[in-house]
Amino acid sequence: MNKRVKIFFLSCALAISIFITVYSVVIIGSYTETANSKMTLNVNMVNSIKPEEAKKNLKNDSNIILLDVRTKEEYIVSHIPGSILIPVDNIKVEVEAKIRDKEDIVYVYCRSGNRSQTAATELVKMGYANVYDLGGIQDWPYETESGER
What is the predicted pLDDT for the residue at 1?
66
Catalytic center residues: 110
DSSP letters for 78-139: -B-TT-EE--GGGHHHHHHHH---TTSEEEEEESSSHHHHHHHHHHHHTT-SEEEEEEEGGG
What is the predicted pLDDT for the residue at 121?
97
**What are the C-alpha distances in Å from 23 to residues 15, 19, 35, 42, 112?**
12, 6, 18, 28, 48
* Mean pLDDT score across all residues of the chain: 85
Question: For 53-83, what is each residue's pLDDT tens digit?
Answer: 999 999 999 999 999 999 999 999 999 999 9
What is the predicted pLDDT for the residue at 24?
52
Which amino acid makes up residue 132? Y
The pLDDT of 86-99, averaged and rounded, is 97
